[in-house]
Structure formats: C-alpha cells, structure tokens
C-alpha cells in the first residue's frame, strides 16, 4: 500500500471537491444520515476494498463500513461488496473517488487473473511493467498482486534493468554489465541486475561474462524462445517480453521461461463496472 496514502487521498479530494460539493450542500441537510452500498455490475475480480476503507476513514472517521466481500474475490453482477453508514454528505462526497479507485484496481486485477489462469499448471509467472497511470502506479501494482500476478520493479530505483538503449549507449553488453556492477559496488547498493537481449549473439555474451540475475528475451519468437531457454539452461532467470498477447501467452510459457512481462495488465485495462447506491 502507498506509504503516503493519506497525503495522496487529500490531493485526490482537493481535486474533486475544490471549495465544496455545492450540489450536495444545496439539497442535503448537514445532519442527515443514511446508508449506501457498493453493488457489482460486471463479472470480475474485486480489488481496492482496503483502499476504499482508508478513503472513507480519511474523509469522515465516523462513517461505519461493513464489508461482505474482500479483495481478490471473484464477483458477479448484483453482489454487494460493502455497506457504508453515516452522514449523507460524506457518502456523496466520497462516492466518486472511491469508485474511480476501486473500478480501476478491479479492472487490473480482473485482467491479471485472466492471464494467470491461462498459465495454470506451468511454472511461468506473469509480471507487470512500468506502463502504469502516473500517480496510481502503486495501486495498480497492488491490483496486479491481488489478481495473482507478480510485481516487477516498482520504479527505476529498486532494480537495474539494462534495456536495449542502455546497452547501445553504454557501448555493448559487456560494458553495460560491468558498469552496472561497478556502480552498485561504489554506491554500496544490493540490487538485482537484469539485461535485455535481442539476439543469440547477445545471449552468448551474457553467458560468457555473467554477473546478472535475469535475462530478458526481447521480441523473440516462440521457437527462438525455446532455443534460448535451452541455451541459458537455468544459469539465470529468464523473462519473455515484447509483442506477447493473451493468445500467445501459454505458448511462450511452455518454452520454460520463468516470467512473462505483460504491459497490458495496466496500460489498456477497462475498469470494472460497479455503483454506490443509497439504501432506501
């Protein structure tokens, strides 16, 4: 969960409410009490309940929340996730922020679960990427986790990933790896090193030099991925990336790679439909 979640929630509310929810203030008495329930309108995987609880608590600590379905559960239209009771003004002003977060996170978790199920019976795990919504990365990565996927690096700071541009600018595979190793030693940091390769020649260079934790096979065909995994022979972790779709996912996994990174888990997800309605 986001370390500074409460500060982030303040920013989200400031963006939405501004100098006041004049619609609600104009027609709802300040002391009026009521209940609202979160209703699922589309089949999927639920995510964001814990974040929703923090949103309600941050806005109005007196709101009472009764949760019936928790994060990670598979839900269907008509399911009631939770009921919130308290000031109606608070229910109305928290509604959209809570829904935006939960719909987005549930959409990510739903797609992730679909990919994870596609790999049932195989050792390969599905990874997310940095192709996330600015400001929502940690929530989206939490949703991937809830959906059964694995988080790749969170950002540029928690892993060294030498991609094609890094290799080319550094002057080649060997120079990129050696520079990364020296950097970590000088800075006293302990970070995993992953390197992207584009050909069998580059794989051979990595195998000869060593000093990395994982090799990313970039835009390899299924046939070449199988050959690459056999060549690497378990000496390093392997990851397939680039141009892999849901339809080709299992074929790549059957090659024996440890991970497959899928940008589609976060960059083009449809939010899961749900609504927050008054309980009459």
pLDDT-derived band at 144, boundaries 50, 70, 90: very high
Task: Please give the pLDDT value at position 6.
Answer: 87
Summarised one tens digit per residue, pLDDT across range 176-211 is 999 999 999 999 999 999 999 999 999 999 999 999
> Angle formed by the axes of helices 5-17 and 88-118, to 10°?
120
Between CA 109 and CA 111 the distance in angstroms is 6
Higher pLDDT, 160 or 268: 160
Q: What are phi and psi of 35, to 5 degrees?
A: -130, 145
Task: Please give the pLDDT value at position 280.
Answer: 86
Contacts of 113 (CB under 8 A, 6+ apart): 45, 74, 147, 148
Q: Are 259 and 129 in contact (CB under 8 A)?
A: no
Task: Please give the pLDDT value at position 3.
Answer: 65
* DSSP 8-state assignment for residue 243: S
Is a pLDDT exceeding 60 seen at residue 1?
no
Summarised one tens digit per residue, pLDDT across range 225-278 is 999 999 999 999 999 999 899 999 999 999 999 999 999 999 989 999 999 999
* DSSP 8-state assignment for residue 150: B
Q: Provide the Cα torsion 226, 230, 234, 235; round to 10°.
A: -120
Task: Please give the pLDDT value at position 56.
Answer: 98
* DSSP 8-state assignment for residue 270: P
Task: Please give the pLDDT value at position 174.
Answer: 97
Tally of CA atoms within 13 A in the half-sphere of 226 that contains its CB: 7
Active site (catalytic) residues: 96, 131, 163, 196, 218
Task: Please give the pLDDT value at position 243.
Answer: 86
Between CA 143 and CA 149 the distance in angstroms is 9
Q: Are 204 and 233 in contact (CB under 8 A)?
A: no
Mean pLDDT of the residues in the chain: 96
Tally of CA atoms within 13 A in the half-sphere of 270 that contains its CB: 6
Summarised one tens digit per residue, pLDDT across range 31-77 is 999 999 999 999 999 999 999 999 999 999 999 999 999 999 999 99
Task: Please give the pLDDT value at position 142.
Answer: 96
pLDDT-derived band at 2, boundaries 50, 70, 90: low
In the chain, at which residue ranges do the beta strands (DSSP E only) sit?
33-40, 44-45, 64-67, 74-75, 80-87, 125-127, 160-162, 193-197, 214-218, 237-241, 259-261, 274-278
Task: Please give the pLDDT value at position 50.
Answer: 96
The model carries a pTM of: 0.94
Q: Of 97, 109, 140, which is closest to residue 276 (Cα–Cα)? A: 97
Please count the residues of the chain: 280
Per-residue pLDDT averaged across 80-98, rounded?
Answer: 98
Between CA 72 and CA 183 the distance in angstroms is 40
């Amino acid at each position: 969960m986001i370390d500074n979640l409460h500060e982030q929630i303040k920013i989200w509310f400031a963006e939405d409410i501004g100098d006041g929810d004049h619609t609600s203030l104009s027609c709802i008495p300040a002391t009026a009490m009521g209940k609202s329930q979160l209703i699922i309108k589309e089949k999927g995987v639920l995510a964001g309940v814990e974040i929703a609880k923090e949103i309600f608590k941050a806005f109005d600590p007196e709101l009472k929340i009764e949760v019936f379905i928790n994060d990670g559960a598979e839900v269907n239209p008509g399911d009631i996730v939770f009921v919130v009771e308290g000031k109606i003004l608070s229910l109305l002003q928290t509604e959209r922020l809570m829904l935006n977060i939960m719909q987005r996170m549930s959409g990510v978790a739903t797609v992730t679960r679909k990919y994870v199920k596609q790999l049932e019976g195989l050792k390969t795990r599905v990874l997310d990427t940095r192709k996330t919504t600015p400001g929502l990365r940690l929530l989206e990565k939490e949703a991937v986790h809830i959906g059964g996927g694995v988080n790749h690096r969170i950002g540029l700071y928690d892993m060294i990933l030498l991609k094609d541009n890094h290799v080319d600018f550094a002057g080649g595979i060997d120079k990129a790896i050696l520079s990364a190793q020296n950097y970590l030693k000088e800075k006293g940091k302990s970070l995993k090193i992953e390197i992207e390769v584009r050909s069998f020649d580059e794989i051979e260079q990595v195998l000869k030099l060593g000093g990395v934790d994982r090799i990313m096979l970039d835009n390899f065909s299924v046939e070449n991925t199988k050959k690459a995994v056999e060549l690497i022979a378990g000496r390093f972790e392997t990851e397939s990336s680039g141009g892999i779709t849901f339809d080709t996912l299992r074929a790549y996994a059957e090659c024996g790679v440890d991970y497959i990174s899928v940008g589609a888990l976060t960059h083009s997800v449809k939010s899961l439909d749900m609504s927050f309605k008054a309980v009459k």
